[in-house]
Amino acid sequence: MQSWYEENYCISEMGKIMSLIGHQERLPDGQLTLADLWPEEETKIVIAGLNPAPPSVAAGHYYQGRNGKQMLSRVASAMFKPECLQGEHLDDALVAMGIGFTDLVKAPTVGEKDVSERQLVESLPELEQKLAERDVRLVISIYRHAGLRLLGRKKSKRPGLQDELTNWGARVFITPNPYGSVEQTRPVYEQLGHEVYGIQTEPVFQRRLPTDWVDFYETVYKVARFSSMSLDEITLSMYDDEVKAKLGALPTPPWRLNK
C-alpha cells in the first residue's frame, strides 16, 4: 500500500520529496502523468493526443515539447483571438474557453514507437466512454493517433476534418504535419476555426430574434468572443432579413459611436 507521501508527492531520482505540480497525477502503478482537464461547464470540444510526453509531464502542462508547443499554438490560434487566451499556460487558457484535454494512453513515453498496440487497443474504450458521456461534438487529434483510433482506422487519408463520425456522432479533426509551414497548413486550420465557431456559437444563434438593438449588439459581442471575424463582419452576418424586418435599418454600432 502506498503511503500518504507516495500518494501526494513525487520522488526525485535523488530521493528528495517533490510536490506534484500543475496537472500532474499518478497512475495506479505509480507513474506520473497528466490529469484529464475538463471545463467547469459543458465540454463540447476536446483536444486528444496519443499520450503525454516526458517534458509535458515534468512541467505539469500539456504539449510542452518543441513540436507540441507549436501544434497547440496553431490549434489555439485557429480557434480563438490571442486576447482571449490569457495566462502563463496555454492549456489552462483553452480550458477557460471551454476546451478539454485528454490522451488515448495515459502512460508517458519518449516517442510513439514506445506505445504498444496492446496499450492502444485497451485504452480506446475508456477514451470513447469519457468523451461520449460528455457528449463531445469535436475531437481535435493532435497528431493522428487518437483521432484515427476513434474512427476505427490506423492510417490517415488526409489532415483536417474527417468525413466519418465517431461511434457517438462526434466529428474528428486531425492536425497537419508539424513540419509544414504556416502558409501550407492555413487552409486546414481554417476548417477547424469554422467548425469550432459553429459549435461555440450555436447556443447564441438558437435564441429568439432580438427584441431591440441593445439585445442585437449584446449578441454580437458574445459571438465575437469565439470568432476570428471583426465586430463589423459579425454584425453584417447577423443582420439578416428577419432582423431587418423586425428592427429596421442598421444603426451605427456602439464601438463606432465615439470614434
Alpha-carbon separation of residue 210 from 155, 199, 245, 248 (angstroms): 47, 21, 12, 12
| Contact partners, residue 184, CB within 8 Å, separation at least 6 | 176
Task: For residue 216, count other CB atoms closer than 10 A to its CB.
Answer: 20
pLDDT at residue 8 in the model: 41
Residue bearing cell 432582423? 243
Span 170-187, average pLDDT = 88
pLDDT at residue 134 in the model: 95
Q: Please tell me what DSSP assigns to residue 153.
A: -
Higher pLDDT, 32 or 219: 32
pLDDT grade for 5, boundaries at 50, 70 and 90: very low
Measure the CA–CA gap between 175 and 160, rounded to whole angstroms: 6
Question: 158-175 pLDDT, tens per residue?
Answer: 999 999 999 999 999 999
Measure the CA–CA gap between 170 and 190, rounded to whole angstroms: 19
Span 142-171, average pLDDT = 92
| Contact partners, residue 118, CB within 8 Å, separation at least 6 | none
Query: 32-46, 166-180, 205-219: lowest mean pLDDT where?
Result: 205-219
Which helix (H) or strand (E) segment holds residue 9: the answer is strand 9-11
Question: 73-95 pLDDT, tens per residue?
Answer: 999 999 988 888 888 999 999 99
Measure the CA–CA gap between 151 and 174, rounded to whole angstroms: 11
What share of the chain has pLDDT > 90, as a percent? Answer: 56
pLDDT at residue 162 in the model: 94
- Is residue 11 pLDDT above 80, yes or no? no
Residue bearing cell 481554417? 190
Span 209-215, average pLDDT = 89
